[in-house]
Chains A and B, each alone.
Chain A
Protein backbone atom coordinates (compact mmCIF):
# COMPACT_ATOMS: atom_id res chain seq x y z
CA UNK A 1 0.00 0.00 0.00
CA UNK A 2 1.36 3.44 -0.81
CA UNK A 3 1.78 5.54 2.31
CA UNK A 4 -0.06 8.85 2.67
CA UNK A 5 3.19 10.72 2.41
CA UNK A 6 6.57 9.55 1.21
CA UNK A 7 9.45 12.01 1.38
CA UNK A 8 12.53 10.89 -0.51
CA UNK A 9 15.88 12.61 -0.25
CA UNK A 10 14.37 16.09 0.00
CA UNK A 11 16.91 18.91 -0.12
CA UNK A 12 15.98 22.60 0.04
CA UNK A 13 18.32 25.55 -0.40
CA UNK A 14 17.81 29.24 0.10
CA UNK A 15 19.46 31.61 -2.30
CA UNK A 16 20.62 34.58 -0.22
CA UNK A 17 22.81 37.54 -1.01
CA UNK A 18 25.65 35.77 0.78
CA UNK A 19 25.31 32.65 -1.31
CA UNK A 20 23.39 29.41 -1.02
CA UNK A 21 22.20 28.22 2.36
CA UNK A 22 21.34 24.55 2.67
CA UNK A 23 18.30 24.43 4.96
CA UNK A 24 17.30 20.81 4.42
CA UNK A 25 20.00 18.35 3.33
CA UNK A 26 18.40 15.26 1.88
CA UNK A 27 15.84 13.89 4.31
CA UNK A 28 13.54 10.90 3.87
CA UNK A 29 10.58 9.67 5.90
CA UNK A 30 7.14 8.19 5.38
CA UNK A 31 3.83 8.80 7.03
CA UNK A 32 0.95 6.33 7.04
CA UNK A 33 -2.69 7.40 7.10
CA UNK A 34 -3.75 8.40 10.59
CA UNK A 35 -0.20 8.30 11.91
CA UNK A 36 1.33 11.07 13.99
CA UNK A 37 4.93 12.03 13.44
CA UNK A 38 6.76 14.54 15.58
CA UNK A 39 9.61 16.43 13.98
CA UNK A 40 11.77 17.71 16.80
CA UNK A 41 14.70 20.05 16.54
CA UNK A 42 15.96 23.45 17.56
CA UNK A 43 15.54 26.74 15.67
CA UNK A 44 17.17 26.60 12.27
CA UNK A 45 17.25 22.80 12.12
CA UNK A 46 15.03 22.84 9.04
CA UNK A 47 11.89 21.41 10.61
CA UNK A 48 9.55 24.29 9.76
CA UNK A 49 11.00 24.54 6.27
CA UNK A 50 10.23 20.85 5.81
CA UNK A 51 6.63 21.40 6.96
CA UNK A 52 6.04 24.34 4.62
CA UNK A 53 7.71 22.50 1.74
CA UNK A 54 5.09 19.74 1.79
CA UNK A 55 2.65 21.97 -0.09
CA UNK A 56 5.32 24.23 -1.54
CA UNK A 57 4.40 27.15 0.67
CA UNK A 58 7.96 28.45 0.82
CA UNK A 59 8.38 31.57 -1.27
CA UNK A 60 10.33 30.69 -4.43
CA UNK A 61 12.74 32.44 -4.76
CA UNK A 62 14.58 32.39 -2.38
CA UNK A 63 13.66 28.72 -1.76
CA UNK A 64 14.99 26.17 -4.25
CA UNK A 65 14.01 22.50 -4.18
CA UNK A 66 17.35 21.00 -5.09
CA UNK A 67 16.63 17.28 -4.99
CA UNK A 68 14.01 14.82 -3.86
CA UNK A 69 10.37 13.93 -4.09
CA UNK A 70 7.35 14.67 -1.92
CA UNK A 71 4.91 11.91 -2.78
CA UNK A 72 1.36 12.44 -1.59
CA UNK A 73 -0.55 9.24 -2.39
CA UNK A 74 2.22 8.54 -4.88
CA UNK A 75 1.96 11.92 -6.68
CA UNK A 76 4.95 14.24 -6.51
CA UNK A 77 3.95 17.60 -5.00
CA UNK A 78 7.09 19.18 -6.45
CA UNK A 79 5.90 18.42 -9.98
CA UNK A 80 2.34 19.68 -9.53
CA UNK A 81 0.86 22.60 -11.46
CA UNK A 82 -0.19 25.62 -9.34
CA UNK A 83 -3.86 24.68 -9.73
CA UNK A 84 -3.27 21.15 -8.39
CA UNK A 85 -1.19 22.53 -5.54
CA UNK A 86 -4.04 24.83 -4.51
CA UNK A 87 -6.37 21.85 -4.60
CA UNK A 88 -4.30 19.97 -2.01
CA UNK A 89 -3.55 22.98 0.21
CA UNK A 90 -6.18 23.04 2.90
CA UNK A 91 -8.10 20.13 1.41
CA UNK A 92 -5.53 17.33 1.80
CA UNK A 93 -2.87 19.02 3.89
CA UNK A 94 -3.84 21.76 6.34
CA UNK A 95 -1.69 23.85 8.64
CA UNK A 96 -1.73 25.49 12.00
CA UNK A 97 1.07 27.88 12.80
CA UNK A 98 3.06 29.13 15.72
CA UNK A 99 1.58 32.57 16.22
CA UNK A 100 -2.23 32.45 16.10
CA UNK A 101 -2.61 36.18 16.72
CA UNK A 102 -0.84 37.11 13.48
CA UNK A 103 -1.79 34.02 11.48
CA UNK A 104 -5.44 35.04 11.43
CA UNK A 105 -6.35 37.99 9.27
CA UNK A 106 -7.17 40.86 11.67
CA UNK A 107 -9.80 42.50 9.47
CA UNK A 108 -12.08 39.55 8.76
CA UNK A 109 -14.42 37.76 11.17
CA UNK A 110 -13.58 34.21 12.14
CA UNK A 111 -16.75 33.06 10.39
CA UNK A 112 -15.54 34.70 7.20
CA UNK A 113 -12.10 33.08 7.42
CA UNK A 114 -13.34 29.57 8.17
CA UNK A 115 -16.20 29.74 5.66
CA UNK A 116 -13.73 30.87 3.02
CA UNK A 117 -11.87 27.57 3.30
CA UNK A 118 -15.05 25.48 3.30
CA UNK A 119 -16.46 27.31 0.26
CA UNK A 120 -13.23 26.67 -1.58
CA UNK A 121 -12.83 22.95 -0.99
CA UNK A 122 -16.32 21.76 -0.13
CA UNK A 123 -18.65 23.70 -2.43
CA UNK A 124 -21.40 21.17 -1.72
CA UNK A 125 -21.87 22.54 1.82
CA UNK A 126 -25.10 24.51 1.91
CA UNK A 127 -25.34 25.93 5.39
CA UNK A 128 -21.94 27.54 5.94
CA UNK A 129 -22.87 29.02 9.33
CA UNK A 130 -23.89 25.62 10.67
CA UNK A 131 -20.70 24.04 9.34
CA UNK A 132 -18.49 26.74 10.88
CA UNK A 133 -20.31 26.34 14.20
CA UNK A 134 -19.80 22.57 14.02
CA UNK A 135 -16.04 22.92 13.75
CA UNK A 136 -15.77 25.66 16.36
CA UNK A 137 -17.68 23.34 18.66
CA UNK A 138 -15.38 20.44 17.77
CA UNK A 139 -12.29 22.35 18.90
CA UNK A 140 -13.89 23.25 22.20
CA UNK A 141 -15.04 26.81 21.70
CA UNK A 142 -17.85 27.56 24.12
CA UNK A 143 -21.06 28.92 22.62
CA UNK A 144 -19.67 29.00 19.05
CA UNK A 145 -22.75 30.60 17.49
CA UNK A 146 -22.05 33.76 19.48
CA UNK A 147 -18.43 33.80 18.37
CA UNK A 148 -19.10 33.70 14.63
CA UNK A 149 -18.88 37.41 14.04
CA UNK A 150 -15.98 38.04 16.38
CA UNK A 151 -12.74 39.39 15.00
CA UNK A 152 -9.47 37.65 15.96
CA UNK A 153 -8.47 40.45 18.35
CA UNK A 154 -11.56 39.78 20.42
CA UNK A 155 -10.34 36.28 21.27
CA UNK A 156 -7.60 35.09 23.63
CA UNK A 157 -4.47 33.43 22.27
CA UNK A 158 -5.73 29.97 23.11
CA UNK A 159 -9.07 30.67 21.46
CA UNK A 160 -7.32 32.03 18.38
CA UNK A 161 -5.32 28.83 18.06
CA UNK A 162 -8.54 26.82 18.42
CA UNK A 163 -10.01 28.87 15.58
CA UNK A 164 -6.92 28.07 13.51
CA UNK A 165 -7.40 24.38 14.26
CA UNK A 166 -11.11 24.60 13.38
CA UNK A 167 -10.19 26.29 10.11
CA UNK A 168 -7.66 23.57 9.34
CA UNK A 169 -10.11 20.76 10.16
CA UNK A 170 -13.05 22.33 8.33
CA UNK A 171 -11.86 21.00 4.98
CA UNK A 172 -11.40 17.48 6.38
CA UNK A 173 -7.71 17.17 5.50
CA UNK A 174 -5.86 13.87 5.54
CA UNK A 175 -2.82 15.50 7.11
CA UNK A 176 -2.58 18.30 9.64
CA UNK A 177 0.78 20.03 9.95
CA UNK A 178 1.03 21.70 13.33
CA UNK A 179 4.08 23.97 13.21
CA UNK A 180 5.00 24.84 16.81
CA UNK A 181 1.29 25.13 17.65
CA UNK A 182 1.82 25.92 21.33
CA UNK A 183 5.06 27.90 21.35
CA UNK A 184 3.40 31.31 21.50
CA UNK A 185 0.97 30.26 24.22
CA UNK A 186 1.44 30.11 27.96
CA UNK A 187 1.90 26.76 29.65
CA UNK A 188 -1.66 26.05 30.77
CA UNK A 189 -3.08 26.96 27.37
CA UNK A 190 -0.30 24.89 25.81
CA UNK A 191 -1.53 21.85 27.73
CA UNK A 192 -5.13 22.54 26.67
CA UNK A 193 -4.22 22.80 23.00
CA UNK A 194 -2.15 19.60 23.15
CA UNK A 195 -5.05 17.81 24.87
CA UNK A 196 -7.28 19.12 22.12
CA UNK A 197 -4.99 17.72 19.43
CA UNK A 198 -4.77 14.35 21.22
CA UNK A 199 -8.54 14.27 21.51
CA UNK A 200 -9.01 15.20 17.84
CA UNK A 201 -6.58 12.51 16.81
CA UNK A 202 -8.90 9.86 18.21
CA UNK A 203 -12.09 11.48 16.95
CA UNK A 204 -11.05 12.60 13.47
CA UNK A 205 -9.11 10.14 11.36
CA UNK A 206 -6.22 12.24 10.21
CA UNK A 207 -2.45 12.10 10.16
CA UNK A 208 -0.55 14.77 12.05
CA UNK A 209 2.95 16.13 11.67
CA UNK A 210 3.78 17.92 14.88
CA UNK A 211 6.73 20.24 14.51
CA UNK A 212 8.25 21.31 17.80
CA UNK A 213 11.45 22.10 19.62
CA UNK A 214 10.03 20.63 22.80
CA UNK A 215 10.38 16.91 23.44
CA UNK A 216 8.18 17.44 26.47
CA UNK A 217 4.92 17.83 24.53
CA UNK A 218 5.11 14.91 22.09
CA UNK A 219 4.52 12.13 24.56
CA UNK A 220 1.11 10.55 24.20
CA UNK A 221 0.47 12.01 20.76
CA UNK A 222 3.34 11.11 18.43
CA UNK A 223 3.62 7.56 17.15
CA UNK A 224 7.03 8.22 15.73
CA UNK A 225 9.58 10.94 16.05
CA UNK A 226 12.17 12.34 13.68
CA UNK A 227 14.92 14.41 15.24
CA UNK A 228 16.29 17.09 12.92
CA UNK A 229 19.67 18.65 13.40
CA UNK A 230 21.26 21.10 10.96
CA UNK A 231 19.02 20.10 8.06
CA UNK A 232 19.30 16.34 8.53
CA UNK A 233 17.24 13.70 10.29
CA UNK A 234 19.68 12.31 12.82
CA UNK A 235 17.31 9.96 14.56
CA UNK A 236 14.02 8.43 13.47
CA UNK A 237 11.92 5.81 15.24
CA UNK A 238 8.94 5.01 17.45
CA UNK A 239 8.51 7.71 20.08
CA UNK A 240 8.80 5.48 23.13
CA UNK A 241 12.02 3.93 21.82
CA UNK A 242 13.64 7.25 21.00
CA UNK A 243 12.66 8.68 24.36
CA UNK A 244 13.76 5.61 26.30
CA UNK A 245 16.93 4.93 24.40
CA UNK A 246 18.17 7.88 22.36
CA UNK A 247 21.08 6.98 20.09
CA UNK A 248 22.31 10.30 18.77
CA UNK A 249 24.14 12.72 21.05
CA UNK A 250 21.91 15.57 19.90
CA UNK A 251 18.74 13.66 20.77
CA UNK A 252 20.12 12.93 24.23
CA UNK A 253 20.95 16.60 24.65
CA UNK A 254 17.47 17.66 23.54
CA UNK A 255 15.78 15.26 25.94
CA UNK A 256 17.95 16.57 28.76
CA UNK A 257 16.66 20.06 28.01
CA UNK A 258 13.17 19.16 29.24
CA UNK A 259 12.88 20.70 32.69
CA UNK A 260 11.82 18.08 35.27
CA UNK A 261 9.22 18.99 37.83
CA UNK A 262 10.82 18.98 41.26
CA UNK A 263 14.35 18.58 39.94
CA UNK A 264 16.91 20.62 41.84
CA UNK A 265 18.79 22.48 39.14
CA UNK A 266 20.38 25.85 39.25
CA UNK A 267 20.46 26.39 35.50
CA UNK A 268 18.51 24.96 32.60
CA UNK A 269 20.46 22.57 30.41
CA UNK A 270 21.66 24.01 27.11
CA UNK A 271 23.00 22.27 24.05
CA UNK A 272 26.76 22.40 23.63
CA UNK A 273 27.27 22.63 19.88
CA UNK A 274 31.04 22.48 20.13
CA UNK A 275 30.83 19.14 21.93
CA UNK A 276 28.39 17.85 19.30
CA UNK A 277 30.79 18.89 16.55
CA UNK A 278 33.60 17.06 18.32
CA UNK A 279 31.43 13.94 18.68
CA UNK A 280 30.72 13.94 14.98
Chain B
Protein backbone atom coordinates (compact mmCIF):
# COMPACT_ATOMS: atom_id res chain seq x y z
CA UNK B 1 0.00 0.00 0.00
CA UNK B 2 2.75 2.46 1.01
CA UNK B 3 4.76 1.73 -2.14
CA UNK B 4 1.64 2.13 -4.21
CA UNK B 5 0.91 5.58 -2.80
CA UNK B 6 4.50 6.69 -3.38
CA UNK B 7 4.37 5.49 -6.96
CA UNK B 8 1.09 7.26 -7.57
CA UNK B 9 2.53 10.47 -6.14
CA UNK B 10 5.47 10.21 -8.56
CA UNK B 11 3.10 9.61 -11.47
CA UNK B 12 1.26 12.78 -10.54
CA UNK B 13 4.33 14.98 -11.17
CA UNK B 14 4.04 14.96 -14.99
CA UNK B 15 0.28 15.52 -14.71
CA UNK B 16 0.81 18.57 -12.54
CA UNK B 17 3.53 19.88 -14.87
CA UNK B 18 1.07 19.54 -17.73
CA UNK B 19 -1.60 21.47 -15.85
CA UNK B 20 0.84 24.22 -14.96
CA UNK B 21 2.17 24.45 -18.52
CA UNK B 22 -1.32 24.64 -20.03
CA UNK B 23 -2.61 27.36 -17.73
CA UNK B 24 0.63 29.32 -18.08
CA UNK B 25 0.46 29.09 -21.86
CA UNK B 26 -3.18 30.10 -21.88
CA UNK B 27 -2.56 33.26 -19.91
CA UNK B 28 0.44 34.26 -21.98
CA UNK B 29 -1.52 33.83 -25.18
CA UNK B 30 -4.51 35.75 -23.87
CA UNK B 31 -2.71 38.58 -22.16
CA UNK B 32 0.32 40.66 -23.10
CA UNK B 33 2.33 42.10 -20.18
CA UNK B 34 1.09 45.57 -21.20
CA UNK B 35 -2.53 44.48 -20.98
CA UNK B 36 -1.84 42.83 -17.64
CA UNK B 37 -0.31 46.02 -16.31
CA UNK B 38 -3.28 48.04 -17.52
CA UNK B 39 -5.59 45.57 -15.84
CA UNK B 40 -3.68 45.57 -12.57
CA UNK B 41 -2.92 49.23 -11.95
CA UNK B 42 -5.33 50.84 -14.39
CA UNK B 43 -5.00 51.93 -18.01
CA UNK B 44 -4.83 55.56 -16.94
CA UNK B 45 -1.63 55.00 -14.97
CA UNK B 46 1.42 56.69 -16.48
CA UNK B 47 3.53 54.76 -18.97
CA UNK B 48 6.50 54.64 -16.58
CA UNK B 49 4.42 53.24 -13.76
CA UNK B 50 3.12 50.49 -15.99
CA UNK B 51 6.63 49.64 -17.24
CA UNK B 52 7.90 49.64 -13.66
CA UNK B 53 5.06 47.28 -12.71
CA UNK B 54 5.97 44.92 -15.57
CA UNK B 55 9.62 44.96 -14.48
CA UNK B 56 8.80 44.37 -10.82
CA UNK B 57 6.72 41.32 -11.76
CA UNK B 58 9.47 39.98 -13.99
CA UNK B 59 7.10 39.92 -16.99
CA UNK B 60 9.82 41.39 -19.21
CA UNK B 61 12.01 38.33 -18.75
CA UNK B 62 12.10 35.54 -21.40
CA UNK B 63 9.05 33.26 -21.25
CA UNK B 64 11.10 30.13 -20.49
CA UNK B 65 12.76 31.83 -17.53
CA UNK B 66 9.36 32.99 -16.28
CA UNK B 67 7.97 29.48 -16.62
CA UNK B 68 10.82 27.81 -14.70
CA UNK B 69 10.45 30.35 -11.91
CA UNK B 70 6.67 29.83 -11.90
CA UNK B 71 7.02 26.03 -11.57
CA UNK B 72 9.58 26.46 -8.79
CA UNK B 73 7.28 28.76 -6.88
CA UNK B 74 4.26 26.48 -7.17
CA UNK B 75 6.28 23.40 -6.23
CA UNK B 76 7.40 25.11 -3.02
CA UNK B 77 3.93 26.53 -2.41
CA UNK B 78 5.00 30.15 -2.80
CA UNK B 79 2.06 31.61 -4.60
CA UNK B 80 3.22 35.24 -4.63
CA UNK B 81 0.86 38.17 -4.40
CA UNK B 82 -2.37 39.09 -6.10
CA UNK B 83 -2.02 41.59 -8.96
CA UNK B 84 -5.23 43.22 -8.00
CA UNK B 85 -5.09 43.50 -4.22
CA UNK B 86 -1.38 42.99 -3.63
CA UNK B 87 -2.17 40.57 -0.83
CA UNK B 88 0.04 37.60 0.02
CA UNK B 89 -1.75 34.61 -1.61
CA UNK B 90 -0.59 32.01 0.92
CA UNK B 91 -2.31 34.14 3.53
CA UNK B 92 -5.42 34.52 1.36
CA UNK B 93 -5.71 30.75 0.91
CA UNK B 94 -5.32 30.15 4.63
CA UNK B 95 -8.11 32.60 5.39
CA UNK B 96 -10.42 31.47 2.60
CA UNK B 97 -10.22 27.73 3.22
CA UNK B 98 -12.11 27.97 6.52
CA UNK B 99 -15.29 29.63 5.26
CA UNK B 100 -15.25 27.41 2.16
CA UNK B 101 -15.04 24.20 4.16
CA UNK B 102 -17.64 25.43 6.59
CA UNK B 103 -20.14 25.39 3.73
CA UNK B 104 -19.00 22.60 1.45
CA UNK B 105 -18.25 19.96 4.08
CA UNK B 106 -21.64 19.98 5.86
CA UNK B 107 -23.35 20.35 2.48
CA UNK B 108 -21.45 17.36 1.12
CA UNK B 109 -22.14 15.24 4.22
CA UNK B 110 -25.84 16.11 4.19
CA UNK B 111 -26.05 15.13 0.52
CA UNK B 112 -24.13 11.91 1.15
CA UNK B 113 -25.92 10.72 4.30
CA UNK B 114 -29.34 11.94 3.18
CA UNK B 115 -28.74 10.46 -0.26
CA UNK B 116 -27.64 7.04 1.01
CA UNK B 117 -30.50 6.95 3.52
CA UNK B 118 -33.17 7.95 1.03
CA UNK B 119 -31.78 5.67 -1.68
CA UNK B 120 -31.72 2.67 0.68
CA UNK B 121 -35.27 3.46 1.70
CA UNK B 122 -36.27 3.65 -1.96
CA UNK B 123 -34.78 0.23 -2.56
CA UNK B 124 -36.62 -1.04 0.52
CA UNK B 125 -39.96 0.10 -0.96
CA UNK B 126 -38.79 -0.42 -4.53
CA UNK B 127 -41.18 -0.07 -7.43
CA UNK B 128 -43.91 1.27 -5.17
CA UNK B 129 -45.61 4.62 -5.53
CA UNK B 130 -43.45 5.97 -2.70
CA UNK B 131 -40.28 4.92 -4.53
CA UNK B 132 -41.41 6.69 -7.69
CA UNK B 133 -42.42 9.78 -5.73
CA UNK B 134 -38.96 10.05 -4.19
CA UNK B 135 -37.40 9.72 -7.64
CA UNK B 136 -39.70 12.44 -8.93
CA UNK B 137 -38.75 14.62 -5.96
CA UNK B 138 -35.04 14.04 -6.63
CA UNK B 139 -35.41 14.89 -10.31
CA UNK B 140 -37.29 18.05 -9.34
CA UNK B 141 -34.49 19.02 -6.95
CA UNK B 142 -31.95 18.52 -9.73
CA UNK B 143 -33.95 20.38 -12.33
CA UNK B 144 -34.26 23.68 -10.50
CA UNK B 145 -31.24 25.94 -11.11
CA UNK B 146 -29.11 26.62 -8.03
CA UNK B 147 -29.74 30.36 -8.11
CA UNK B 148 -33.45 29.76 -7.62
CA UNK B 149 -32.75 28.05 -4.29
CA UNK B 150 -30.38 30.86 -3.37
CA UNK B 151 -32.93 33.60 -4.09
CA UNK B 152 -35.72 31.65 -2.43
CA UNK B 153 -33.79 31.03 0.78
CA UNK B 154 -32.55 34.60 0.88
CA UNK B 155 -36.13 35.83 0.45
CA UNK B 156 -37.54 33.54 3.14
CA UNK B 157 -34.67 33.37 5.62
CA UNK B 158 -33.43 36.93 5.40
CA UNK B 159 -36.27 39.11 4.15
CA UNK B 160 -39.36 37.41 5.57
CA UNK B 161 -38.08 35.80 8.76
CA UNK B 162 -35.38 38.41 9.15
CA UNK B 163 -33.31 35.85 11.04
CA UNK B 164 -30.43 35.01 8.71
CA UNK B 165 -28.23 37.59 7.00
CA UNK B 166 -28.88 37.58 3.24
CA UNK B 167 -25.17 37.60 2.62
CA UNK B 168 -21.85 38.18 4.29
CA UNK B 169 -19.61 36.30 6.70
CA UNK B 170 -17.83 36.87 9.99
CA UNK B 171 -16.12 34.62 12.52
CA UNK B 172 -18.25 35.09 15.62
CA UNK B 173 -18.13 31.76 17.46
CA UNK B 174 -21.52 30.07 17.37
CA UNK B 175 -23.04 33.09 15.66
CA UNK B 176 -21.02 32.12 12.58
CA UNK B 177 -23.63 29.43 11.96
CA UNK B 178 -26.13 32.12 10.99
CA UNK B 179 -23.95 33.21 8.09
CA UNK B 180 -23.42 29.71 6.72
CA UNK B 181 -26.80 28.10 7.42
CA UNK B 182 -28.49 29.17 4.18
CA UNK B 183 -25.49 28.38 1.94
CA UNK B 184 -25.24 24.93 3.56
CA UNK B 185 -28.91 24.25 2.89
CA UNK B 186 -28.49 25.22 -0.78
CA UNK B 187 -25.40 23.04 -1.05
CA UNK B 188 -27.22 20.10 0.55
CA UNK B 189 -30.29 20.46 -1.69
CA UNK B 190 -28.17 20.68 -4.82
CA UNK B 191 -26.16 17.58 -3.84
CA UNK B 192 -29.12 15.56 -2.58
CA UNK B 193 -31.08 15.39 -5.83
CA UNK B 194 -28.35 13.89 -7.95
CA UNK B 195 -26.93 11.79 -5.08
CA UNK B 196 -30.27 10.05 -4.43
CA UNK B 197 -30.63 9.15 -8.10
CA UNK B 198 -27.08 7.83 -8.31
CA UNK B 199 -27.15 5.84 -5.06
CA UNK B 200 -30.51 4.28 -5.87
CA UNK B 201 -29.06 2.97 -9.12
CA UNK B 202 -26.05 1.57 -7.28
CA UNK B 203 -28.18 -0.17 -4.64
CA UNK B 204 -30.75 -1.47 -7.14
CA UNK B 205 -27.94 -3.15 -8.99
CA UNK B 206 -26.77 -4.85 -5.80
CA UNK B 207 -30.23 -6.01 -4.77
CA UNK B 208 -30.35 -8.47 -7.69
CA UNK B 209 -27.09 -10.16 -6.74
CA UNK B 210 -27.07 -13.79 -5.62
CA UNK B 211 -25.65 -12.99 -2.19
CA UNK B 212 -28.83 -11.04 -1.41
CA UNK B 213 -30.90 -14.16 -2.03
CA UNK B 214 -28.52 -16.12 0.23
CA UNK B 215 -28.90 -13.53 2.98
CA UNK B 216 -32.70 -13.63 2.69
CA UNK B 217 -32.64 -17.44 2.66
CA UNK B 218 -30.82 -17.30 6.01
CA UNK B 219 -33.85 -15.58 7.46
CA UNK B 220 -32.45 -12.07 7.71
CA UNK B 221 -34.96 -9.24 7.44
CA UNK B 222 -34.83 -7.01 4.35
CA UNK B 223 -33.72 -4.16 6.58
CA UNK B 224 -30.62 -6.05 7.73
CA UNK B 225 -29.93 -7.33 4.21
CA UNK B 226 -30.04 -3.76 2.89
CA UNK B 227 -28.28 -2.06 5.79
CA UNK B 228 -25.50 -4.61 6.05
CA UNK B 229 -25.02 -6.74 2.93
CA UNK B 230 -26.17 -4.36 0.22
CA UNK B 231 -24.80 -1.21 1.83
CA UNK B 232 -21.27 -2.51 2.18
CA UNK B 233 -21.16 -3.74 -1.41
CA UNK B 234 -22.75 -0.52 -2.63
CA UNK B 235 -20.19 1.52 -0.71
CA UNK B 236 -17.47 0.18 -2.97
CA UNK B 237 -19.14 1.68 -6.02
CA UNK B 238 -20.00 4.78 -4.05
CA UNK B 239 -16.41 5.37 -2.95
CA UNK B 240 -15.16 5.59 -6.50
CA UNK B 241 -17.66 8.31 -7.22
CA UNK B 242 -17.46 10.46 -4.10
CA UNK B 243 -14.07 10.23 -2.41
CA UNK B 244 -12.26 11.85 -5.32
CA UNK B 245 -14.30 15.01 -4.87
CA UNK B 246 -13.64 15.18 -1.14
CA UNK B 247 -10.36 17.17 -1.05
CA UNK B 248 -11.76 19.62 -3.55
CA UNK B 249 -14.33 20.75 -1.02
CA UNK B 250 -11.64 23.04 0.33
CA UNK B 251 -11.79 25.02 -2.94
CA UNK B 252 -15.35 25.98 -2.11
CA UNK B 253 -18.34 26.52 -4.32
CA UNK B 254 -18.07 29.18 -7.00
CA UNK B 255 -21.75 30.03 -7.27
CA UNK B 256 -22.93 29.77 -3.68
CA UNK B 257 -20.05 31.72 -2.17
CA UNK B 258 -20.47 34.43 -4.73
CA UNK B 259 -24.18 34.95 -4.11
CA UNK B 260 -23.94 34.74 -0.33
CA UNK B 261 -20.85 36.92 -0.12
CA UNK B 262 -18.78 34.26 1.61
CA UNK B 263 -15.06 35.13 1.46
CA UNK B 264 -14.07 31.58 0.53
CA UNK B 265 -11.79 30.23 -2.16
CA UNK B 266 -14.61 29.75 -4.65
CA UNK B 267 -15.45 33.41 -4.45
CA UNK B 268 -11.77 34.30 -4.71
CA UNK B 269 -11.45 32.36 -7.97
CA UNK B 270 -14.59 33.91 -9.49
CA UNK B 271 -13.34 37.41 -8.77
CA UNK B 272 -9.83 36.60 -9.98
CA UNK B 273 -11.17 35.30 -13.29
CA UNK B 274 -13.27 38.43 -13.64
CA UNK B 275 -10.25 40.68 -13.17
CA UNK B 276 -7.70 38.47 -14.97
CA UNK B 277 -5.74 38.22 -11.74
CA UNK B 278 -3.20 35.80 -13.18
CA UNK B 279 -1.33 34.63 -10.03
CA UNK B 280 -4.61 33.83 -8.25
CA UNK B 281 -6.09 31.83 -11.15
CA UNK B 282 -2.85 29.93 -11.74
CA UNK B 283 -2.49 29.11 -8.06
CA UNK B 284 -6.14 28.03 -7.75
CA UNK B 285 -5.89 25.77 -10.81
CA UNK B 286 -2.70 24.25 -9.47
CA UNK B 287 -4.18 23.68 -6.01
CA UNK B 288 -7.36 22.27 -7.55
CA UNK B 289 -5.51 19.68 -9.60
CA UNK B 290 -3.24 18.83 -6.69
CA UNK B 291 -6.27 18.18 -4.49
CA UNK B 292 -7.97 16.19 -7.24
CA UNK B 293 -4.97 13.92 -7.66
CA UNK B 294 -4.89 13.54 -3.88
CA UNK B 295 -8.56 12.60 -4.06
CA UNK B 296 -7.89 9.91 -6.65
CA UNK B 297 -5.15 8.36 -4.53
CA UNK B 298 -7.43 8.54 -1.50
CA UNK B 299 -10.11 6.77 -3.58
CA UNK B 300 -7.78 3.86 -4.29
CA UNK B 301 -6.82 3.58 -0.64
CA UNK B 302 -10.47 3.64 0.51
CA UNK B 303 -11.30 1.13 -2.20
CA UNK B 304 -8.69 -1.28 -0.89
CA UNK B 305 -9.94 -0.80 2.66
CA UNK B 306 -13.59 -1.47 1.74
CA UNK B 307 -13.15 -4.33 -0.73
CA UNK B 308 -11.11 -7.33 0.45
CA UNK B 309 -10.63 -8.43 -3.16
CA UNK B 310 -8.55 -5.35 -3.98
CA UNK B 311 -4.83 -5.33 -3.21
CA UNK B 312 -2.78 -2.24 -3.99
CA UNK B 313 0.61 -3.19 -5.34
Contacts and interface: CB of A to CB of B under 8 A. Distances in A.
Same complex origin of A and B: yes
Given A91-B219, A117-B218, A107 B213 contact: no
A106 B233 contact: yes
Nearest to B233: A107
Nearest to A61: B127
Interface string B223-260: 00000010011001000000000000000000000000
Contacts of B309: 106, 151, 153
Interface in B193-234: 209-211, 213-221, 229, 232-233
Contact of B219 (A87, A104, A106, A107): A87
Contact of A120 (B210, B218, B232, B306): B218
Interface in B296-313: 306-309
B308 A153 contact: yes
Nearest to A98: B210
A195 to B, nearest CB: 23
A88 interface: yes
Interface SS, B side = helix
B308 A151 contact: yes
A90 B308 contact: no
Contact of B211 (A88, A91, A102, A120): A102
Contact of A57 (B127, B213, B236): B213
Interface string B277-313: 0000000000000000000000000000011110000
Given A106-B308, A107-B236, A117 B219 contact: yes
A243 to B, nearest CB: 30
A89 B217 contact: yes
A88 B233 CA distance: 26
A141 to B, nearest CB: 18
A167 B213 CA distance: 14
B240 to A, nearest CB: 15
Given A106-B211, A153-B309, A86 B220 contact: yes
A99 B218 CA distance: 16
12 contacts: A55-B217, A94-B217, A97-B210, A102-B210, A105-B232, A105-B233, A106-B307, A121-B219, A167-B214, A167-B218, A171-B218, A171-B219
The 7 residue pairs across chains A and B that have the minimum distance between CB atoms: A90-B219, A89-B219, A102-B210, A105-B211, A90-B218, A151-B308, A95-B217
Interface of A: 55, 57, 61, 82, 86-91, 94-95, 97, 99, 102-108, 116-117, 120-121, 151, 153, 164, 167, 171
